[in-house]
Structure 1
């Protein structure tokens, strides 16, 4: 019988459609031939085809915007927001606008055009996360910016226009409504229970274990109770930290390891499906705000259609318990 579940954070309702339940393997997309690296602006030797790098981890003695880099960060050539100018607002009756001031950058995760993040050498994966954190902390100093959204689109269906492995960040002059709503819910829970909602979620998932994918000393990966999509996964810090920027070097090592493991399991379980990886973190410069940063991995295995758009309720044909079981059945290479 179908079940309607509520996500304790967003309070969004999700329909777990058990009457048409499917295992994750049923969603495997057809294999698509890659275009290859011909003309790829992110490959070594094409550095002049991108805007000048703002950060790079590279070999000693190599010059900026030349080959010899391991991770490279550049402004997005087709930026959603522009970096120059002050933030100006205007109200016209019931309508309000802000100038499109912000920052949009691309993190090129490695020189190899075909290396999946999960297949990077562990130390290289850590370098990618260090680039994420370094740019986050740098943008935190910009008083015009109030939120940094880190995200990774994998596959055309998920919005990736280039195959070369990369992630992005966008800094905005406002706090997105979804983040504000999450923070309001978490504050209300803290006021009622004198506890962090996310810390309680970590405890509950570790206790039941039926939705757990992986864990280590610092992080937990699991399929959330009210998963919107088949094989949706969250990776959450086991430390009570509001901001991704507070993540320490030892945490980044364990975050890279669990992120590589979960993405590798997803790749093998569903034939390298398209997905979005998104960071949820506290707004910038918020001090001791009550929040708990985490990543969400959202596979694009089902189509969001009229019911979802009309109700903000999702229909998921794969219970998270079955998704977790399938992901745990994957045998990872040593």
Structure 2
């Protein structure tokens, strides 16, 4: 069974799919995403792979007859795609060449564009889960793309706050946030011509970086090719810097937040951005969301952001130097 169940307390939908409980942990001697597995081509750079355990599909089954009254159900229309970053089982995003990263950005953009055009799509989210600390069962480098038949609750909350700010001030809230972060400077970790990367003033994760477009951009497809590639290289630098903090692969959840696909006015008050949720609060310590955070959505950060940002900034700069030197040696 796969269906959507309405939560009347939060005015939100829960995706339910018992089939996903059968997702396997990857055997030590086999990976379906590696060439030679019979599941993927023997030669590829990046690859779009259909999700073997989708919670959303274009041909969903009828919901179970368990709802009633305020408990509504509906078909789980949508799409779930997997994007493989590389045939190399060990090569995560920072390991890719800049040209290879450009190919990944192109595949993200093309997949977003295709899914946004589906009649059932209201929101398309590109994301990546990295590391066993966030529950990854398939460690081969990959991300996912979901096309939802609704706008997720957190995005709706952001949109409502941005609309309220725009109606009150006539300004885009993200512009005002960028102004505050640049004026402070203490939380900025990297900057390019079109993007600012920083750990926000309010963030509840020690290294919870936001990457925010400086201009009125609401999706990958609002960007020129050069700007998309700039974003891809910046993501490599941010993640590469994270990996240098403890000299190991840094776990995180990364989520791209575009505007809803049918919101033509979103450019006035909203902005494309990427949010990182890295769970480490120390080399071997995990920041768990306990009762207050989970039950009350009362965010808490066990560290000081202004102490963390300079550490990450220095590591990003070290990674950039290392990456540039490696690229030159390969020419």
The answer to whether 1:42 aligns with 2:27 is no
Alpha-carbon distance between aligned partners in 2 of 1:81 and 1:312, rounded to the nearest angstrom: 26
- After TM superposition, the structure 1 stretch with the greater mean CA deviation from structure 2, 215-224 or 82-91, is 82-91
Corresponding residue of 2:96: 120
> Shift of the alpha carbon at 1:319?
1.3
The answer to whether 1:327 aligns with 2:312 is yes
Query: Is the 8 Å Cα contact of residues 189 and 195 (structure 1) preserved in structure 2?
Result: yes
With structure 1 as the length reference, what TM-score do the two structures score?
0.80
Alpha-carbon distance between aligned partners in 1 of 2:99 and 2:178, rounded to the nearest angstrom: 27
Query: Is the 8 Å Cα contact of residues 199 and 240 (structure 1) preserved in structure 2?
Result: no
> Shift of the alpha carbon at 1:83?
2.5
Alpha-carbon distance between aligned partners in 2 of 1:257 and 1:150, rounded to the nearest angstrom: 17
Query: Is the 8 Å Cα contact of residues 278 and 295 (structure 1) preserved in structure 2?
Result: yes
Corresponding residue of 1:299: 278
Corresponding residue of 1:84: 59
Query: Is the 8 Å Cα contact of residues 235 and 296 (structure 1) preserved in structure 2?
Result: yes
Change (3 A) 1:261 1:110: same
Alpha-carbon distance between aligned partners in 1 of 2:61 and 2:105, rounded to the nearest angstrom: 29
Alpha-carbon distance between aligned partners in 1 of 2:93 and 2:74, rounded to the nearest angstrom: 36
Q: In structure 2, which of residues 72, 80, 93 is the aligned counterpart of residue 104 of structure 1?
A: 80
Pairwise CA RMSD: 2.1
The answer to whether 1:313 aligns with 2:298 is yes
Alpha-carbon distance between aligned partners in 2 of 1:100 and 1:167, rounded to the nearest angstrom: 21
Q: In structure 2, which of residues 152, 155, 171 is the aligned counterpart of residue 195 of structure 1?
A: 171
Alpha-carbon distance between aligned partners in 1 of 2:132 and 2:205, rounded to the nearest angstrom: 18
Count of aligned pairs = 284
The answer to whether 1:278 aligns with 2:263 is no
> Shift of the alpha carbon at 1:231?
0.8
Alpha-carbon distance between aligned partners in 2 of 1:299 and 1:123, rounded to the nearest angstrom: 26
The answer to whether 1:287 aligns with 2:264 is yes
Alpha-carbon distance between aligned partners in 1 of 2:301 and 2:60, rounded to the nearest angstrom: 44
Q: In structure 2, which of residues 181, 197, 205 is the aligned counterpart of residue 229 of structure 1?
A: 205
Change (3 A) 1:322 1:145: same
> Shift of the alpha carbon at 1:273?
2.6
Corresponding residue of 2:156: 180
TM-superposition CA deviations, 1:179-228 (whole Å, max 9, x none) = 11211110110111111001111122122210000001011100010111
Corresponding residue of 2:328: none
Q: In structure 1, which of residues 244, 253, 260 is the aligned counterpart of residue 229 of structure 2?
A: 253
Query: Is the 8 Å Cα contact of residues 86 and 144 (structure 1) preserved in structure 2?
Result: no
Alpha-carbon distance between aligned partners in 2 of 1:163 and 1:300, rounded to the nearest angstrom: 17
Alpha-carbon distance between aligned partners in 2 of 1:171 and 1:159, rounded to the nearest angstrom: 22
With structure 2 as the length reference, what TM-score do the two structures score?
0.81
The answer to whether 1:74 aligns with 2:49 is yes
Alpha-carbon distance between aligned partners in 2 of 1:97 and 1:82, rounded to the nearest angstrom: 16
TM-superposition CA deviations, 1:5-37 (whole Å, max 9, x none) = xxxxxxxxxxxxxxxxxxxxxxxxxxxxxx897
> Shift of the alpha carbon at 1:96?
1.6
Q: Does 1 or 2 have the higher relative contact order (CA < 8 Å, sep 6+)?
A: 1
The alignment partner of 1:296 has SS state of: strand
The alignment partner of 2:243 has SS state of: helix
Alpha-carbon distance between aligned partners in 2 of 1:328 and 1:181, rounded to the nearest angstrom: 30
